[in-house]
């Protein structure tokens, strides 16, 4: 089973989800003009880029969790396009100097291609931005850059140094086979634009509905701004392992790019600077 194990594991304790989440329904945003999801720069401004399925079961990640892993390894993104527009998204550390995200967060098909810059904000919680950094180096594959294919909608942000990543640690990443994914509880956490203007992290988990060789399908609730969020599972003794990148929404299900052997190979090559 192909597997990338993180070179650096931060020592912060991984807290249990069920013990510490706010026990409240996600509140409707009061902002009249929520920030634009990065997907709008490639697919147009549509409400169905990412979706809440039925009741909104997302919960806000509370402050004490934001000081622990994996929550602080998840980053709010502030994306500035070559055309001067600003978008929001989500990313997550896969190495001390590399943040994985959706391809459409790092290559904006209708807004000049590669962004002018991306602010990477690990553990952002409102005005608290303890690890803010900016990057101008990005990676994506031809299947997204040239063909705009959903099956290749993944990419990476390369940071100038490893100081923040060394302190926070990063997700392990694995290409899990079909049997290992069948019916397993999958988890997504990111920064939705419809909840407090993508200033806070929101989480939801449900079993995967189905898989293909390139996609993971689920009815986990998401919204614009969560593009690029990690899809992860708990594999017992191996801990938390990322198996996909959230990218897409629909009427009855949402989906993400599956980390298969090809995706894993590209992620590792970007980590190595190839």
Per-residue pLDDT of the chain (274 residues; tens, 9 = 90+): 343 344 434 434 444 444 334 333 444 444 567 899 999 999 986 544 555 656 777 999 999 999 999 999 999 999 999 999 999 999 999 999 999 999 999 999 999 999 999 999 999 999 999 999 999 999 999 999 999 999 999 999 999 999 999 999 999 999 999 999 999 999 999 999 989 999 999 999 999 999 999 999 999 988 889 999 999 999 888 899 999 999 987 767 899 999 999 999 999 999 999 8
Q: Of 42, 81, 97, 104, which residue is the catalytic one?
A: 104
Instruction: Give the start-to-end residue ranges of the domains of the chain.
Output: 39-43+64-168, 172-272
* CATH number belonging to domain 172-272: 2.40.10.10
Question: What pLDDT sits at residue 146?
Answer: 97
Question: What pLDDT sits at residue 45?
Answer: 66
Q: Do domains 39-43+64-168 and 172-272 have the same CATH topology?
A: yes
Question: What pLDDT sits at residue 206?
Answer: 94
Cα–Cα dist 13/151, whole Å = 34
204 annotated active-site: no
Q: Of 227, 229, 246, 255, which residue is the catalytic one?
A: 227
Question: What pLDDT sits at residue 33?
Answer: 79
* Residue whose structure tokens are 């509370």: 62
Cβ density class 104-120: b for 16+ within 10 Å, e for less:
bbbbbeebebbbebbbb
Q: Please name which of 79, 70, 31 lies closest in space to residue 190, comparing C-alpha atoms.
A: 70
104 annotated active-site: yes
One CATH from 2.160.10.10, 3.10.105.10, 2.40.10.10, 2.80.10.50 for 39-43+64-168: 2.40.10.10
pTM confidence score: 0.89
């Amino acid at each position: 089973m192909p597997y990338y194990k993180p070179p650096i594991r931060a020592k912060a304790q991984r807290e249990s989800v069920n013990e510490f989440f706010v026990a409240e329904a996600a509140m409707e945003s009061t902002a009249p003009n929520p920030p634009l999801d990065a997907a709008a720069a490639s697919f147009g401004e549509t409400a169905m880029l990412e979706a809440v399925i039925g009741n909104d079961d997302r919960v806000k990640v509370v402050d004490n969790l934001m000081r622990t892993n994996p929550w602080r390894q998840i980053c709010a993104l502030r994306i500035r396009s070559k055309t001067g527009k600003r978008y929001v998204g989500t990313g997550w550390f896969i190495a001390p100097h590399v943040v994985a995200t959706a391809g459409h967060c790092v290559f904006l098909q209708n807004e000049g291609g590669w962004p002018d810059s991306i602010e990477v904000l690990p553990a952002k919680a409102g005005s608290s931005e303890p690890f803010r950094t900016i990057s101008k180096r990005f990676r994506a594959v031809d299947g997204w850059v040239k063909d705009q294919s959903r099956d290749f909608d993944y990419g990476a942000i390369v940071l100038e140094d490893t100081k923040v990543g060394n302190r926070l640690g990063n997700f392990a990443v694995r290409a899990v086979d079909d049997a290992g994914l069948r019916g397993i509880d999958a988890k997504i956490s990111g920064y939705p634009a419809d909840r407090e203007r993508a200033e806070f992290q929101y989480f939801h988990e449900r079993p995967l509905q189905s898989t293909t060789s390139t996609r993971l399908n689920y009815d986990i609730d998401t919204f614009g701004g969560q593009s690029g969020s990690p899809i992860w599972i708990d594999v017992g003794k191996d801990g938390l392992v990322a198996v996909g990148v959230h990218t897409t929404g629909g009427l009855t299900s949402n989906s993400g790019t599956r980390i298969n052997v090809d995706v894993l190979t590209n992620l590792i090559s970007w980590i190595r600077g190839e």
